[in-house]
Structure 1
């Protein structure tokens, strides 16, 4: 039996979702379902519109930290936690697929996962994806966290982790908070150094991704690996 939902303005998005599916709703309406209530003079859908505009889109909203979210009118701790949970669940769903057997031999799959993990971070982070012989994800670990412009990556730590996880291959990824996904000369030098170091223990460096927001550059695709 289809649940009976009161025909109030605040709950119309839920009613439409149940009747027609989530795909027919606008982003603000989907967000309104999470928010449930608005604020004085602003219903949940209008609040959703306001928040999406305030954060320059859904990506900015869903990747904001707890303090930033709670600083917005209409978002207390509970609603902020719900928004944070949505982003983390989405990232974990991508990771679950990769661990379940989706081989990471196609750059677009890797880019999507790395952008979801790193694209929103305000300072530079570097992570390594450790893969088995079938190029399935074993685990993903942060290997450095730097300032806005620089991160220190130690190849010996990546090699140690690769051997610990019995990895056959590694993909390196780091973000550029500047929003420019072009590799620097230091990025290229690190890539060459890490590739040579990993080869000494029979582990392949498959790619190095530079992430900026929702976009990512693959050095393997560019022939710069």
Structure 2
């Protein structure tokens, strides 16, 4: 069924304008972005299929342009570009929030921000959020890629970047492509090594966040810092 075949009050656009965005389901909101379906498949069905393919909205938000390209109906550039643009807007909104107030006044925003940046990577990425004295975001930098161990993440480089940004504190972060956010012994050892190195230049490690699609773990909240 196409959108024009629905009763006027059931069409996503009219429903949004009349009742607000909160009244729409994830599929209806996504259908507004997609606008049209494919032959034999209405846009609402296409939106639901897309959500199913990525395990819901969280999984879809972590999908990259190449991931979307493999979905039937998204082989062209227009729809994919719009979805990727929405993802980038979400990143920028979260970044603004972290720049305007102390990061740990909103730990969920920190996790969401890091998920949007790192969770969908096919390989491990180690990053750091550099924070000022009020714990507001100065910058996010991806520092290392590949299998992350004490020998592949260089404390000297992390310290140099912290000094470059005149950071007072950092939040360490990396992703687990396996999908599990449980910290390994290597993660714990690396955290302690970096914490000791940064303490020498009076930079505090506030947390080490591990992310995967749809989930994130704070080592500070787990008492592992």
Q: Same fold (TM over 0.5)?
A: yes
1:184 corresponds to which residue? 184
CA shift for structure 1 position 171: 0.8
1:9 aligned to 2:8?
Answer: no
- Alignment of structure 1 residues 26-45 onto 2, 5 Å: 26-45=25-44
CA shift for structure 1 position 139: 0.7
CA shift for structure 1 position 58: 1.8
State the number of aligned residues. 218
Q: Is the 8 A contact 1:155 1:197 kept in 2?
A: yes
Cα distance 1:108–1:178, how it changes in 2: closer, same or farther (>3 A)?
same
CA shift for structure 1 position 172: 0.1
2:113 corresponds to which residue? 113
1:4 corresponds to which residue? none
Cα distance 1:33–1:80, how it changes in 2: closer, same or farther (>3 A)?
same
Unaligned segments of structure 2, at least 5 residues: none
1:24 corresponds to which residue? 23
CA shift for structure 1 position 106: 5.2
Q: Is the 8 A contact 1:63 1:84 kept in 2?
A: no
1:142 corresponds to which residue? 142
Inter-partner Cα distance in structure 1 for 2:27 and 2:221 = 36
CA shift for structure 1 position 105: 5.3
1:168 corresponds to which residue? 168
Inter-partner Cα distance in structure 2 for 1:221 and 1:64 = 27
Unaligned segments of structure 1, at least 5 residues: 1-6
Inter-partner Cα distance in structure 1 for 2:216 and 2:67 = 25
Per the normalisation by structure 2, the TM-score is 0.89
- What secondary structure sits across from 2:78 in the alignment? helix
After the TM superposition, which of the residue ranges 169-178 and 68-77 deviates more from structure 2? Answer: 68-77
Q: Is the 8 A contact 2:149 2:187 kept in 1?
A: no
Per the normalisation by structure 1, the TM-score is 0.89
CA shift for structure 1 position 150: 6.3
Q: Is the 8 A contact 1:124 1:150 kept in 2?
A: no
CA shift for structure 1 position 36: 0.7
